[in-house]
A = this chain, B = another copy of it.
Amino acid sequence: MNGGVSLATRVLLFSDAKHFSLTKKSWESYNSTLAFGRPSSIIMPCSVLRMHLRTITITNVRVIDLRFPTSREHIGSDAVNKDPDYSAAYCILETDAGIEGHGLTFTLGRGTDLVVRALEYLSRVVHARTLKSITDDLNAFYLQLSGDTQFRWLGPEKGVIHLACAALLNAVWDLYAKAEGKPVWKLLAEMTPEQIVSAIDFRYISDAITRDEALDILRRNKQDQPERLAYLEAHGYPAYTTSSGWFGFSDDKIRRLCREALAEGWSSFKLKVGGDAEDDLRRGRIMREEIGWQAHMMVDANQKWGVDEAIERTRQLGELNPWWMEEPTSPDDILGHARIRREAAPTRIATGEHCHNSVMFKQLFQAGAIDVCQIDSCRVAGINENLAILLMAAKFGVPVCPHAGGVGLCEYVQHLSIFDFLSVSCSLENRVIEYVGHLHEHFYDPVTIRRGCYMVPSKPGYSGEILPASLQEFSFPDGAAWKEQPRELSALQA
C-alpha cells in the first residue's frame, strides 16, 4: 500500500477493485510498475495497466458444474424443452496478476457434467500460458482447441465439445478485456480490422466471405463509430421480451405478463408455439389483444415440426402477423428452412440458437434460408466464431438478432450486438436482442434494461461473471440449492 498512487486513485483506475479481486501481491506489483517506469504516469493509467497485464500468466483453471433449478417454476418451457434447469459449464482462469477470466456455456441441466468434463480437458491448453501468447493469435488458439487429433472425432465443431470450447474462449476474451480495462464490445470495436480477422477461422467459410472482404467491411465502418456509440449510449440497443409467452404459462398469466411488460416499455414480444394448432392461435390472439397490432410479436416453435407441417403452421400463424417465425424445424435443415421461407412467405424465418458452427450459418446465408440470424454466444466457439458469423450476416444483408435468456446469454450477446452496430452491420434496422428476465441477480455485472433496451455495459470484461455466493449455492450436486432436492432431480449422479 505504499506505491505511487493513493488508494482512492487506484480504485478509480480499476473501475472496481472488488471486480478485479486484486491480491496484495498484485497491488504491490502494479504499484512498483508505476513507481519504476513512469512516476507521473497517473495521467494515462489505462495504458500502463495494459502493459502490465499483458504479461499475465494463467496459473490455474477452475471448472464448475452450475445448475439453477428453474424447472420447478416452469421457467423457460417451450414445445420441446419442457423442464429446463438453466445451467452452465463454468470456468475461471486464475492468473498471477490478480485478475480472473470467467467463461460459461449455457446448458439445460442433465448432461452439464459432460461439458464440464470436456472443458476440464480443453482447459489444459491454457495452463501456464501467458495471455499474450493466446491473444497474439486467437485463431491459432481456436484451432488448437478444435483440432485435437483425437478429440475432434466427437464433433468436429459441434455438440458437447464445441459447447465446452465456447466456455473456454469466452473466459479468454473476458480475461483479455479485463486486462485491457475495457468491456468486450469496446475491446472489439477498438481492435484493428487486422486483429479482428486474425481471430477468425476462414478455412471453411472463405467461399462465402474472404479475409479481404471482412477487412473491407471493418475498415469502412471505422468511420462514424463515435456517432453510433453516442446513439447507443443515449438510447440503448433495442430488445424484445420472451418472458411473457412461455409454453407452460396459462392464458391469464400471458395476459398479465404482457400488460406488465407493456407498462415497462416493451414493444416486442415472443410467444412459444408448437402445441395444438388451435391452442397456438388462441394464445397468439390473446397476446395480440394485449399488445395490439403496433407492437412486434414473434412466434417460436423450437424445432417442433417437419418441413411440410412447418409450412402449413407458419401460414396459419400468419394471421397473427408475426415479426418472424423462429425454429420452425430441425436446426440442421438448411434446405428445409429455405423451402419454408419460400413457401410461407411473407413471414420472415429465423433460426440460429442451435446452429452449431459457422459452416452451418454460412449455408443458411448461401441458401437464402433465413431473414433473421440468431447467433448464440455459447453454441458456437465463443466470440471467435461469432465474429465470422456477424461478418457473413453483414455481407449477405441478414440482420442479427441474438438468442439470449438462459443464464448469462443476455449478459454476453449485448457485447456482440453492440460491436455489430459499431463495426459490422452498422444498422439497428430489424435488429433486436432477446431478453429474458431471469437469473440476472447472480451476475456481478448484470444487464441493464431501460424501456425495452439494453443499456451499454461499462465494466471491463464480458459481463458473464457470476457472484461467488451463487457459484457456491448452485454448484451441482453439492450446492445448497440442490442439497434440499429429492434424489431424482440429481440426475447423472446416482
List chain A positions with a Cβ less than 8 A from chain B.
80-85, 107-111, 113-115, 117-118, 121, 148-163, 202-207, 303, 306-308, 329-336, 339, 354, 356-357, 359-360, 362-363, 366-367, 491-492
Could you tell me if A204 and B111 are in contact, using CB atoms closer than 8 angstroms? no
Could you tell me if A359 and B330 are in contact, using CB atoms closer than 8 angstroms? yes
Copies in the complex: 2
**With A159-B155, A308-B207 given, is the CB distance from A150 to B114 under 8 Å?**
no
Could you tell me if B330 and A154 are in contact, using CB atoms closer than 8 angstroms? no
Residue of B nearest to A120 (CB): B492
Pick from A150, A354, A367 the residue with the most CB of B within 10 Å. A150
Compute how far the CA of A356 lies from the CA of B153 in the bound complex, rounded to whole angstroms.
11
**With A80-B149, A121-B111 given, is the CB distance from A303 to B156 under 8 Å?**
yes
> Sorted from nearest, which 7 A-B pairs have the closest CB atoms?
A159-B159, A109-B150, A160-B160, A108-B153, A110-B150, A207-B307, A204-B330
Residue of B nearest to A117 (CB): B114
Residue of B nearest to A340 (CB): B207
Partner of A80, one of B152, B303, B359: B152
**With A156-B354, A160-B114, A204-B306 given, is the CB distance from A108 to B149 under 8 Å?**
yes
Compute how far the CA of A153 lies from the CA of B382 in the bound complex, rounded to whole angstroms.
17
Give 29 A-B contacts (CB < 8 Å), ordered by A residue.
A80-B152, A81-B152, A83-B149, A107-B150, A107-B153, A107-B154, A109-B150, A118-B160, A121-B491, A150-B491, A154-B159, A156-B331, A156-B354, A158-B158, A158-B332, A158-B356, A159-B159, A159-B160, A203-B330, A204-B306, A204-B336, A206-B307, A207-B336, A207-B339, A332-B356, A333-B362, A335-B366, A335-B367, A336-B363
Residues of B near A160 (CB, < 8 A) are 114, 118, 154, 159-161
Compute how far the CA of A202 lies from the CA of B206 in the bound complex, rounded to whole angstroms.
34
Compute how far the CA of A115 lies from the CA of B117 in the bound complex, rounded to whole angstroms.
11
Residue of B nearest to A67 (CB): B150
CB of A478 to closest CB in B, whole Å: 18
CB of A164 to closest CB in B, whole Å: 9
Partner of A118, one of B114, B339, B366, B491: B114
Compute how far the CA of A306 lies from the CA of B85 in the bound complex, rounded to whole angstroms.
39
Could you tell me if B308 and A332 are in contact, using CB atoms closer than 8 angstroms? no
Residue of B nearest to A82 (CB): B149
Could you tell me if A359 and B332 are in contact, using CB atoms closer than 8 angstroms? yes
Residue of B nearest to A113 (CB): B117
Residues of B near A153 (CB, < 8 A) are 81, 84, 107-108, 111
Could you tell me if A363 and B334 are in contact, using CB atoms closer than 8 angstroms? yes
Compute how far the CA of A355 lies from the CA of B333 in the bound complex, rounded to whole angstroms.
13
Compute how far the CA of A203 lies from the CA of B487 in the bound complex, rounded to whole angstroms.
34
Compute how far the CA of A234 lies from the CA of B193 in the bound complex, rounded to whole angstroms.
65
Residue of B nearest to A85 (CB): B150
- Known contacts A117-B117, A207-B307, then 14 further A-B pairs from the complex at CB < 8 Å, ordered by chain A residue: A80-B149, A81-B152, A107-B150, A111-B150, A111-B154, A121-B492, A154-B163, A156-B354, A206-B306, A332-B357, A332-B360, A333-B363, A334-B334, A336-B363
Residue of B nearest to A77 (CB): B149
Residues of B near A360 (CB, < 8 A) are 332
Residues of B near A117 (CB, < 8 A) are 113-114, 117, 492
CB of A335 to closest CB in B, whole Å: 5
CB of A337 to closest CB in B, whole Å: 11
Could you tell me if B149 and A81 are in contact, using CB atoms closer than 8 angstroms? yes
Residues of B near A150 (CB, < 8 A) are 81, 83-85, 107-111, 491
Residues of B near A121 (CB, < 8 A) are 110-111, 491-492
Could you tell me if B359 and A306 are in contact, using CB atoms closer than 8 angstroms? no
Compute how far the CA of A158 lies from the CA of B330 in the bound complex, rounded to whole angstroms.
12
Residues of B near A152 (CB, < 8 A) are 80-81
Could you tell me if B204 and A110 are in contact, using CB atoms closer than 8 angstroms? no
Residues of B near A335 (CB, < 8 A) are 334, 363, 366-367
Residues of B near A329 (CB, < 8 A) are 204
Pick from A85, A113, A332, A492 the residue with the most CB of B within 10 Å. A332
Residues of B near A158 (CB, < 8 A) are 158-159, 332, 356
